[in-house]
Protein backbone atom coordinates (compact mmCIF):
# COMPACT_ATOMS: atom_id res chain seq x y z
CA UNK A 1 0.00 0.00 0.00
CA UNK A 2 1.32 3.44 -0.94
CA UNK A 3 1.10 6.23 1.62
CA UNK A 4 1.80 9.97 1.52
CA UNK A 5 4.98 11.25 -0.05
CA UNK A 6 7.40 12.76 2.45
CA UNK A 7 10.80 14.41 2.16
CA UNK A 8 13.93 12.48 3.11
CA UNK A 9 17.68 12.72 2.62
CA UNK A 10 20.03 9.70 2.31
CA UNK A 11 21.57 9.20 5.75
CA UNK A 12 25.14 9.02 4.42
CA UNK A 13 24.68 12.45 2.80
CA UNK A 14 23.30 13.90 6.05
CA UNK A 15 26.51 12.98 7.90
CA UNK A 16 28.69 14.36 5.15
CA UNK A 17 27.09 17.76 5.86
CA UNK A 18 26.50 17.65 9.65
CA UNK A 19 28.79 16.67 12.52
CA UNK A 20 27.35 13.43 13.85
CA UNK A 21 25.87 13.30 17.34
CA UNK A 22 23.92 10.24 18.46
CA UNK A 23 21.43 11.96 20.76
CA UNK A 24 21.64 15.76 20.83
CA UNK A 25 21.05 19.06 19.09
CA UNK A 26 23.72 19.64 16.47
CA UNK A 27 24.21 23.41 16.69
CA UNK A 28 24.29 25.03 13.25
CA UNK A 29 22.52 28.24 12.26
CA UNK A 30 24.13 28.62 8.82
CA UNK A 31 21.41 28.91 6.16
CA UNK A 32 23.78 27.27 3.68
CA UNK A 33 23.72 24.05 5.70
CA UNK A 34 19.97 23.52 5.41
CA UNK A 35 20.13 24.48 1.72
CA UNK A 36 22.71 21.75 1.15
CA UNK A 37 20.59 19.19 3.00
CA UNK A 38 17.42 20.09 1.11
CA UNK A 39 19.29 19.92 -2.20
CA UNK A 40 19.76 16.19 -1.54
CA UNK A 41 16.11 15.69 -0.62
CA UNK A 42 13.80 13.22 -2.35
CA UNK A 43 10.11 12.46 -1.95
CA UNK A 44 9.31 8.85 -1.13
CA UNK A 45 6.30 7.04 0.26
CA UNK A 46 6.30 7.36 4.03
CA UNK A 47 5.57 3.69 4.72
CA UNK A 48 8.79 2.74 2.92
CA UNK A 49 10.84 5.33 4.80
CA UNK A 50 9.61 4.39 8.29
CA UNK A 51 11.70 1.20 8.25
CA UNK A 52 14.63 2.54 6.23
CA UNK A 53 17.61 3.79 8.29
CA UNK A 54 19.31 4.53 4.98
CA UNK A 55 17.23 7.73 4.83
CA UNK A 56 16.45 10.47 7.32
CA UNK A 57 12.96 11.96 7.02
CA UNK A 58 13.31 15.74 7.42
CA UNK A 59 11.03 17.12 10.14
CA UNK A 60 10.73 20.90 10.69
CA UNK A 61 10.41 21.21 14.48
CA UNK A 62 9.80 24.59 16.11
CA UNK A 63 9.52 25.79 19.69
CA UNK A 64 7.16 28.77 20.11
CA UNK A 65 8.89 31.48 22.15
CA UNK A 66 8.34 34.92 23.65
CA UNK A 67 11.10 36.47 25.74
CA UNK A 68 12.34 33.86 28.22
CA UNK A 69 9.19 31.75 27.84
CA UNK A 70 8.23 28.81 25.65
CA UNK A 71 4.81 27.32 24.89
CA UNK A 72 4.35 23.89 26.45
CA UNK A 73 1.86 21.38 25.02
CA UNK A 74 0.31 18.53 26.99
CA UNK A 75 -1.14 15.75 24.85
CA UNK A 76 -4.37 14.03 25.89
CA UNK A 77 -5.46 10.46 25.24
CA UNK A 78 -7.53 11.73 22.29
CA UNK A 79 -4.31 12.53 20.42
CA UNK A 80 -4.04 10.42 17.24
CA UNK A 81 -0.43 9.42 17.92
CA UNK A 82 -0.74 7.00 20.85
CA UNK A 83 2.96 7.17 21.77
CA UNK A 84 2.46 10.86 22.70
CA UNK A 85 -0.49 10.31 25.07
CA UNK A 86 -0.11 12.30 28.33
CA UNK A 87 3.34 13.56 27.36
CA UNK A 88 4.54 17.14 27.32
CA UNK A 89 5.90 18.57 24.09
CA UNK A 90 7.57 21.83 23.11
CA UNK A 91 7.59 21.40 19.37
CA UNK A 92 5.24 21.98 16.49
CA UNK A 93 6.20 20.23 13.30
CA UNK A 94 5.70 17.30 11.02
CA UNK A 95 6.66 15.54 7.82
CA UNK A 96 7.29 17.63 4.71
CA UNK A 97 4.96 16.75 1.84
CA UNK A 98 5.12 18.11 -1.73
CA UNK A 99 3.86 21.71 -1.98
CA UNK A 100 2.71 22.06 -5.57
CA UNK A 101 5.60 22.87 -7.88
CA UNK A 102 7.50 24.79 -5.19
CA UNK A 103 11.22 24.13 -5.00
CA UNK A 104 12.66 22.19 -2.05
CA UNK A 105 14.35 25.14 -0.36
CA UNK A 106 14.33 27.16 2.89
CA UNK A 107 11.21 29.05 1.76
CA UNK A 108 9.40 25.72 1.56
CA UNK A 109 10.75 24.73 4.99
CA UNK A 110 9.61 28.00 6.58
CA UNK A 111 6.19 27.62 4.99
CA UNK A 112 5.89 24.16 6.55
CA UNK A 113 6.94 25.47 9.97
CA UNK A 114 4.33 28.22 10.01
CA UNK A 115 1.66 25.90 8.60
CA UNK A 116 2.28 23.40 11.38
CA UNK A 117 2.16 26.17 14.00
CA UNK A 118 -1.17 27.47 12.74
CA UNK A 119 -2.60 23.93 12.82
CA UNK A 120 -1.75 23.65 16.51
CA UNK A 121 -2.40 27.16 17.86
CA UNK A 122 -4.51 30.23 17.10
CA UNK A 123 -2.71 33.57 17.10
CA UNK A 124 -5.12 36.26 18.24
CA UNK A 125 -5.34 39.68 16.62
CA UNK A 126 -2.16 41.63 17.25
CA UNK A 127 -0.05 38.51 17.82
CA UNK A 128 2.42 37.90 15.02
CA UNK A 129 5.61 36.03 14.19
CA UNK A 130 8.64 38.27 14.67
CA UNK A 131 11.15 35.80 13.28
CA UNK A 132 11.99 32.16 12.64
CA UNK A 133 15.26 31.65 14.51
CA UNK A 134 17.35 28.63 13.41
CA UNK A 135 18.95 26.63 16.21
CA UNK A 136 20.30 23.42 14.68
CA UNK A 137 19.33 19.81 14.07
CA UNK A 138 17.86 17.21 16.42
CA UNK A 139 19.18 13.69 16.04
CA UNK A 140 18.29 10.68 18.18
CA UNK A 141 19.69 7.37 16.97
CA UNK A 142 18.96 5.67 20.31
CA UNK A 143 15.56 4.37 19.16
CA UNK A 144 13.95 3.04 15.98
CA UNK A 145 11.80 6.12 15.35
CA UNK A 146 14.70 8.54 15.81
CA UNK A 147 16.98 6.59 13.50
CA UNK A 148 14.80 7.44 10.50
CA UNK A 149 14.12 11.12 11.33
CA UNK A 150 16.11 14.34 11.55
CA UNK A 151 14.60 17.42 13.18
CA UNK A 152 15.38 20.86 11.77
CA UNK A 153 15.11 22.91 14.96
CA UNK A 154 13.84 26.50 14.98
CA UNK A 155 12.41 28.88 17.53
CA UNK A 156 9.30 30.73 16.34
CA UNK A 157 9.50 34.06 18.14
CA UNK A 158 6.17 35.84 18.76
CA UNK A 159 5.69 39.50 19.69
CA UNK A 160 3.30 38.59 22.55
CA UNK A 161 1.73 35.59 24.30
CA UNK A 162 -1.85 35.93 23.02
CA UNK A 163 -2.34 32.43 21.59
CA UNK A 164 -4.49 29.41 22.37
CA UNK A 165 -4.77 25.75 21.39
CA UNK A 166 -6.90 24.99 18.32
CA UNK A 167 -7.96 21.42 19.15
CA UNK A 168 -8.56 21.59 22.88
CA UNK A 169 -9.85 18.02 23.09
CA UNK A 170 -6.44 16.76 21.92
CA UNK A 171 -4.12 18.91 24.02
CA UNK A 172 -3.72 21.77 26.42
CA UNK A 173 -1.09 24.51 26.36
CA UNK A 174 0.58 27.03 28.65
CA UNK A 175 3.50 29.45 28.68
CA UNK A 176 6.45 28.32 30.82
CA UNK A 177 9.74 30.03 31.62
CA UNK A 178 12.71 28.20 30.13
CA UNK A 179 14.25 28.10 33.59
CA UNK A 180 11.26 26.05 34.84
CA UNK A 181 11.24 23.39 32.11
CA UNK A 182 12.96 20.88 34.39
CA UNK A 183 9.69 20.42 36.29
CA UNK A 184 8.14 18.83 33.18
CA UNK A 185 11.21 17.06 31.82
CA UNK A 186 10.45 13.51 33.04
CA UNK A 187 7.13 13.47 31.16
CA UNK A 188 8.40 15.05 27.93
CA UNK A 189 8.65 13.38 24.54
CA UNK A 190 12.22 12.70 23.43
CA UNK A 191 12.90 15.63 21.09
CA UNK A 192 11.59 18.10 23.67
CA UNK A 193 14.00 16.59 26.21
CA UNK A 194 16.85 17.12 23.77
CA UNK A 195 15.86 20.78 23.38
CA UNK A 196 15.69 21.15 27.17
CA UNK A 197 19.17 19.66 27.48
CA UNK A 198 20.40 22.35 25.10
CA UNK A 199 18.67 25.10 27.09
CA UNK A 200 20.17 23.77 30.33
CA UNK A 201 23.66 23.72 28.84
CA UNK A 202 23.37 27.44 28.03
CA UNK A 203 21.54 28.59 31.14
CA UNK A 204 24.59 29.32 33.31
CA UNK A 205 26.26 32.63 32.45
CA UNK A 206 25.66 32.47 28.70
CA UNK A 207 24.43 35.23 26.41
CA UNK A 208 23.65 32.79 23.60
CA UNK A 209 19.97 32.74 22.65
CA UNK A 210 18.38 29.29 22.83
Domain-embedded: residue 210: no
Tell me the CA end-to-end span of the chain in Å, nearest whole number: 41
What mean pLDDT is predicted for residues 151-165? 97
The answer as to whether 96 is a domain residue is: yes
Give residue 201's pLDDT band: very low, low, confident or very high (50, 70, 90). confident
**207 in a structural domain:** no
Report if residue 209 sits inside a domain: no
* Domain annotation covers residue 42: yes
Give the burial class of 158: count Cβ atoms within 10 A of its Cβ; 0-12 exposed, 13-18 middle, 19 or more buried. Answer: buried
Element (H, E) at 46: helix 46-49
Which residue range(s) make up the domain with 71?
5-201
- Is a pLDDT exceeding 90 seen at residue 80? no
Q: Binning pLDDT at 50, 70 and 90, where does residue 194 land? A: very high
Domain membership of residue 62 (yes or no) is yes
Do 113 and 60 meet the contact criterion of CB atoms below 8 Å apart? yes
* Number of domains making up the chain: 1
Residue pLDDT, tens place only, 29-78: 999 999 999 999 999 999 999 999 999 999 999 999 999 999 999 987 65
Amino acid sequence: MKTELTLAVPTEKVWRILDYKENAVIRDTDSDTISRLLADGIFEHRNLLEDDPGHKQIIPYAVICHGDMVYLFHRTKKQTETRLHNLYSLGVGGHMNPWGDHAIDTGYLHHELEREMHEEVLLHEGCRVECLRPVGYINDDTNEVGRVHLGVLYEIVLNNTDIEINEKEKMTGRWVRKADLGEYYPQMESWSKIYCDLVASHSEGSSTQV
